[in-house]
Amino acid sequence: MSKEITITLPDGSQKQAPVGVSGHEIVSMIGAGLAKAAIAFSVNGNQRDLSDTVNQDADIFIYTLDSDEGLEIMRHTVAAHVLARAIKNLYPKAKLAIGPTIENGFYYDFLSEERVSIDDLPKIEKEMEKIVASKSEIIKTFHSKKDAIKSFADINEEYKVKIIEESNQEDSFQIYSQGDTGFIDLCRGPHLPSLDKVGAFKLTKISGAYWKGDSRNEMLSRVYGTAWKNAKDLKKHLTLIEEAEKRDHRKLAKEMDLFHLQEEAPGMVFWHAKGWSIYITLQNYVRKKQIANGYQEINTPMVVDRKLWESSGHWEKYRENMFITEIDEEHANEKRVNALKPMNCPCHVQIYNQGIKSYRDLPVRLAEFGSCHRYEASGTMHGLMRVRGFTQDDGHIFCTEDQIESETADFISLLSQIYSELGFESFDIRLSTRPEIRVGYDEVWDKAEAALESAIKKLDIPYKVEAGNGAFYGPKLDFVLTDAIGREWQCGTFQADFNLPDRLDAEYIGEDGSKYRPVLMHRAILGSFERFIGILIENYSGKLPLWLAPTQLAILTVTEEVNEYAETLKEKFDEFNLRVDLDLRNEKIGYKIREHSNAKVPFMAVIGKEEMSAQTVSIRNLRENKTDTYSIDEAVSKLSEESKSPN
């Protein structure tokens, strides 16, 4: 009698199966519908091809294209098999490198003697469609290191040979093929069982990429694509990309004259007057909110000796991302090594440590618009979204363990108010719990995790637990915004830290007269000002709320005869601190209107002889695309009221 194993399904039900049962057989046991839809499965959390077997009791999960994991598996198949094979069909001498999945898509790197450009993507895509139409079965075989090397050396796939040679494993190399086509590829899998499971796809762009990301290596061609369950989902995604391109903050910033970046200072922002107006207005708004909520605003040095970074642990863990400076100290025979601060936390602890703190002093809430610098690889930088120099709305709360819950609730309340007033009604909360490698005692982690979770529950806000994703020093909450076109942005964060107060000797005197370590709560609402402004620009498609707009009103003259009247109007608006641009240029009024419309100025006052004669103001509302006529006092009152900050 053959031995049986127990298969436990996600709903808790169990089935008996023979040792060596395959994924195909398991899904068939469950039901014909699932057998048809299944594309892969997991065994005790490890993803497997349906052709793989199970040899012991196991928890099983079945993937279909309806799941995020299933979609990623399909994208991997499209990249590693369909795109790679199409490239080989069209460019037989091409050398295949790697083809991973990325967010919403995939890419494949290859070396080709023939030049491959964006104009070739339709041809490659057509070849991919022919390959998918074959509905070939995808077959996996296992090989020793020696045999795997020979398999790829025989077909001159030198990058595959390098990958195998550099691997530490000696056997079980997975080679996938498509029926009897002769095409093979090395891959970790899993993959679709056959090409008839491939959904809808589209190649999107081509670029250069160094082998292994190292500029000392040869430049490869990289073809990008996206793949979805069906044509409807693909079209929806492509429409989203098109809309995102229209909202690209770099494009809008040029039209609005907000900022620029240049090679002489990579990843550093040159703020123009109008962009800096947004920055300062937003900063002052957050400043008032924080002060009203019990924060003390501080400022700490930008350049700090390595000794502090060694004490905090950043020198060991984060040095490769830090900008290092060396100077010859006067009257010293050695160089002083400093670093531009990549974060503000150690400096905030230094301020807390000045003077003895009692439990009665806690919580201590410190806030700083801290200028930080982090080294980001040149290929990862993207406008304001990822820079090397940035400012955080950073804050640190020093509190007792018993105060964690109330401080969490207060922070979420403040964050909710700010997000709402900035136009983001929807955000998600993700609670990340203790990772496997961590500091601190389990009982303290228990208390911190429970406090964070309890605070969310009491505010009746939905949240998602991400087990094991907390920082090594404590659990955290991440706050994810959803913008006007449905994209998610992780901005705010609230993190409990039991590590840094100990490393930097932060203390308070308890009610019993003994010394205790405070819990350090790291918090940010906007995160990076630069990134958040980029998000705001894209969310509003440049049409910012009136109180944030760098120019709130443009006064445009139709003829020089009304210049004096227009100047008088500007003086009236200036009295109420409105940001007004007076355009007296000798240009056609249509040209002026188009230019200020492109700059996303929310209101335009077109002044002609009629307005001057009647002592009125005709104001065009860009957002509502309508024009109304007001008396001077009515116009001033309307705009001054609407331009008030939400504070």
The full length of the chain comes to 647
Q: Are residues 282 and 420 in the same domain?
A: yes
Q: Are residues 364 and 285 in the same domain?
A: yes
CATH code of the domain covering residue 439: 3.30.930.10
> What is the rounded distance in angstroms from the CA atom of residue 405 to the CA atom of residue 402?
7
Q: Are residues 115 and 181 in the same domain?
A: yes
CATH code of the domain covering residue 588: 3.40.50.800
Q: Could you tell me if residue 250 is inside a domain?
A: no
* pLDDT of 238 strictly over 60: yes
Contact predicate 237/104, CB 8 Å: yes
Q: Could you tell me if residue 263 is inside a domain?
A: no
> What is the rounded distance in angstroms from the CA atom of residue 52 to the CA atom of residue 326?
57
Domain of residue 627 covers 553-642
Closest CA to 399 of 516, 548, 284, 315: 516
Q: Are residues 510 and 590 in the same domain?
A: no
> What is the rounded distance in angstroms from the CA atom of residue 40 to the CA atom of residue 525?
40
pLDDT tens, position by position, 581-600 = 999 999 999 999 999 999 99
Q: Could you tell me if residue 160 is inside a domain?
A: yes
pLDDT tens, position by position, 337-395 = 899 999 999 999 999 999 999 999 999 999 999 999 999 888 788 999 999 999 999 99
State which H helix or E strand residue 77 sits in.
Answer: helix 68-77
**Quick one: pLDDT at residue 53?**
94
CATH code of the domain covering residue 33: 3.10.20.30
pLDDT tens, position by position, 600-641 = 999 999 999 999 999 999 999 988 888 999 999 999 999 999
**Quick one: pLDDT at residue 455?**
86
* 3-class DSSP state of 16: strand
Q: Are residues 130 and 161 in the same domain?
A: yes
Report the catalytic residues: 345, 374, 392, 394, 396, 476, 522
Q: Could you tell me if residue 58 is inside a domain?
A: yes
Q: Are residues 381 and 469 in the same domain?
A: yes
Q: Could you tell me if residue 259 is inside a domain?
A: no
Pairing of strands 58-63, 40-43: antiparallel
Reading the block at residue 481, the tokens are 């915004």
Q: Are residues 404 and 535 in the same domain?
A: yes
**Quick one: pLDDT at residue 1?**
44
Cis peptide leading into residue 190 (ω within 30°): yes
Pairing of strands 270-271, 219-228: unpaired
Q: Are residues 226 and 365 in the same domain?
A: no
Q: Are residues 486 and 355 in the same domain?
A: yes
Closest CA to 298 of 217, 370, 405: 370
**In 257-377, which residue ranges form alpha helices assigned H by DSSP?**
273-292, 306-312, 314-318, 345-352
Q: Could you tell me if residue 638 is inside a domain?
A: yes
Confidence bin at 331 (pLDDT 50/70/90):
low
> What is the rounded distance in angstroms from the CA atom of residue 616 to the CA atom of residue 101?
60
Confidence bin at 426 (pLDDT 50/70/90):
confident
Q: Are residues 577 and 500 in the same domain?
A: no
**Quick one: pLDDT at residue 2?**
58
pTM exceeding 0.85: no
Query: How many domains in the chain?
Result: 4
DSSP 470-505: SBTTB-EEEEEEE-TTS-EEEEEEEEEESSHHHHTT
Q: Domain boundary at 477, 512, 539, which?
A: 539
Q: Are residues 54 and 127 in the same domain?
A: no
Q: Are residues 169 and 238 in the same domain?
A: yes
Closest CA to 413 of 367, 368, 458: 458
Q: Could you tell me if residue 324 is inside a domain?
A: no
Q: Could you tell me if residue 257 is inside a domain?
A: no
Q: Domain boundary at 513, 539, 565, which?
A: 539
**When comparing pLDDT for 548 and 79, which is higher?**
548
Q: Domain boundary at 539, 565, 582, which?
A: 539
pLDDT tens, position by position, 274-293 = 999 999 999 999 999 999 99
State which H helix or E strand residue 54 sits in.
Answer: strand 53-54
> What is the rounded distance in angstroms from the CA atom of residue 647 to the CA atom of residue 641?
13
pLDDT tens, position by position, 70-120 = 999 999 999 878 999 999 999 999 999 999 999 899 999 999 999 999 999
pLDDT tens, position by position, 249-262 = 999 999 999 999 99
* pLDDT of 226 strictly over 70: yes
Q: 541-565 burial by CB neighbour count: b if 16+ within 10 A, else e?
A: bbebbbbbbbbbbbbbbbeeebeeb
Contact predicate 339/317, CB 8 Å: no
Residues 6+ apart with CB under 8 A from 260: 253, 254, 270, 272
